[in-house]
Amino acid sequence: MAFPELLEQVGGMGRFQIINVVLLSIPILMMASHNLLQNFTAAVPGHHCQPNPRDDNASTGWDSVEQLRAFTPLDRSWKPVQCLQYIRAQWWLLESNVTISNTTEMDTEPCRDGWTYDRSEFSSTIITEWDLVCNQRRMGQMAQSIYMTGVLVGAVIFGGLSDKFGRRAVIIWSYLQMAVAGSCAAFSPNFISYCVFRFLTGMALSGIVLNCVSLNVEWTPTYYRTITGTLNGYCYTLGQLILVGIAYLLRDWRWLQLTVTAPFFVFFLYSWWFSESARWLVLKGKLGRAVREMQRVAKMNGKKEEGEKLTSQILKSSIHQDARPEKSTYVIADLIRTPNIRRISLCLCLVWFSTSFAYYGLAMDLQGFGVNIYLIQIIFGAVDFPSKFISVLVMSYIGRRVTQTGFLTLAGLAILANIFVPYELQVLRTVMAVLGKGCLAASFNCVYLYTGELYPTVIRQTGMGLCSTMARLGGIVAPVVQMTSDYFQSLPLIIYGSAPVISGIAGWFLPETLNKHLPETLEDVERKEPEEKLQKHLLLEGTELEIVKTTG
């Protein structure tokens, strides 16, 4: 009896599976908050130099908006220059009959006494807290890159640890690390410590994502995997809207950071309820514990008698352990050791990298759209609902491969289209960016499930770790690409749009997994394709034979 049949025997999509999916999905609501948190905690408000205390009546003059130009030069739009001030206050500029074309041509110097910030939208951000403007303006982007680097490192470390020590132990630790590191970030005394704690938070996020996917996939019957995977995706989407609401109410970055982190203490407490993956336990030779976990599931699903019939031998045979693999320990090199796995790993790496690369290139530049940051975040979050719903339909009735490649290609074309839209048409440019972001969200919705179905159980977490690493690498590189606009204004769009199109082509080389059992070993994956080709060949021969009989 195959393992999917055993799951049906102990209740299928019963009470245990429903509770398991719900408890794993709730933390995802707050994970979007951490990924996109710096859109608000690192927002750059309007700013200009503080008055020079060496000037007489400086404080008096500074209190008046009209008298601001006596201290700070104005740009061509008659707005205060952000990083320069007059060496001495120019009171004569306040006379009504004075006209000057460019005040920056007079004697100026960099801000020496700090900055004054517009606090009408944000009472406090890490930018205003540590003056990360002017010469330090890249520090905000660097903080996000450090966070994404933590996510990358976490994918590498926790992916391997999960295959070695189990999904349950690693996800429990990840919840605790997220709660502690995120809270410490809220109380950081300086920028360096903030970056360290954000790095640790990013690591924890990877541990949660990877093990949430595996525990969902490995405990859920085949026909429900699409639904549960999509539920996780919708939780992430809803989390983006929750972030907007919290950020709107809490304009101080420390309170915002602490608020989106505190729930992870609760998640840590209830995570002890989770059951370890029986698939993983059997493959690790822990048959006794696997039987106990299956019996616990059967009891919760009202199938106690069926659970009592399970034995170690039944579980062992269900995971093809009668012909035990040559080794029980796998390393990252196994992801490229055999032909089919190697092709899958290469194509998935391209898909994960380009999806994350283009997604964060759009999602982390909200202030660049020139509209209210809360409104654009709501729009960017809301577009995920229809896009993910469509992706569910396509995944369920057409297949994973068409969904993955189709949405990636559409996303790339939507981004590339903005190259030909004049910069003045901000509404149209925003619409195209939202369309591209929605397609990338659908791609993410598919790729998490697709990857879990393509890799066999023995290296599933290692494979998810590799793919997640590529995604985080894309997230790290995405802010850097924005800098290429200094050389050619449309170059970032060309790069962001080309990557999804190229990876969409690569996605066609992946096998379809719709309504197919999860592979358990490397041998299952290597046998799968030849067997499918043989079945198609036999079907074709049978069809030809029927035609001959009919015409004969």
The domain that holds 350 is classified in CATH as 1.20.1250.20
Number of domains the chain is built from: 2
For residue 132, what pLDDT is reported?
80
**Which residues sit opposite 108 in a β-bridge?**
86
CB 263 within 8 A of CB 30: yes
Say if 501 falls within a structural domain.
Answer: yes
Q: How far apart are CA 329 and CA 286, in angstroms?
A: 14
Say if 172 falls within a structural domain.
Answer: no
- Walk along the chain (552 residues) and give the pLDDT tens digit of each residue: 566 677 777 777 778 888 888 888 888 888 878 888 888 888 777 766 776 555 544 444 444 555 566 666 666 656 666 676 666 666 556 555 555 544 445 576 667 777 777 777 788 888 888 878 777 777 777 888 888 888 888 877 887 788 778 888 889 999 999 999 999 999 999 999 999 999 999 999 988 888 887 787 777 777 777 777 777 778 888 888 888 888 888 888 899 999 999 999 999 998 888 888 877 777 777 778 877 877 787 888 777 777 677 777 776 676 554 334 445 566 677 777 788 888 888 989 999 998 888 888 877 666 566 567 788 778 887 887 888 888 888 888 888 888 889 899 999 898 888 888 777 777 787 888 888 888 888 888 888 788 888 888 777 767 877 887 788 788 888 877 776 766 777 788 888 888 889 988 888 888 888 877 778 777 777 776 555 544 444 444 444 444 444 444
Query: Residue 221 has which token pair?
Result: 């019957």
Say if 56 falls within a structural domain.
Answer: yes
For residue 196, what pLDDT is reported?
93
Q: How far apart are CA 72 and CA 84, in angstroms?
A: 7
Of 117, 133, 157, the position where a domain reaches its end is 117
Q: What amino acid occupies position 176? A: L
Q: How far apart are CA 64 and CA 19, in angstroms?
A: 60
Scanning the structure block, which residue is given the tokens 């004075």? Answer: 98
Q: How far apart are CA 286 and CA 315, in angstroms?
A: 10
Say if 359 falls within a structural domain.
Answer: yes
For residue 333, what pLDDT is reported?
75
For residue 127, give the nearest of 110, 113, 144 by alpha carbon. 144
Of 58, 84, 117, the position where a domain reaches its end is 117
Say if 534 falls within a structural domain.
Answer: no
The residue ranges of DSSP E strands in 57-216, in sequence order, are 84-86, 108-110, 115-117
Q: What amino acid occupies position 125? A: T
Say if 380 falls within a structural domain.
Answer: yes
**Which residues sit opposite 110 in a β-bridge?**
84
Range(s) of the domain holding residue 95: 47-117
What is the pTM assigned to this prediction?
A: 0.71
Say if 195 falls within a structural domain.
Answer: no
| HSE-up of residue 250 (Cα within 13 Å, Cβ side) | 18
Say if 15 falls within a structural domain.
Answer: no
CB 418 within 8 A of CB 493: yes
Contacts of 7 (CB under 8 A, 6+ apart): 219, 221
Q: How far apart are CA 141 and CA 189, in angstroms?
A: 19
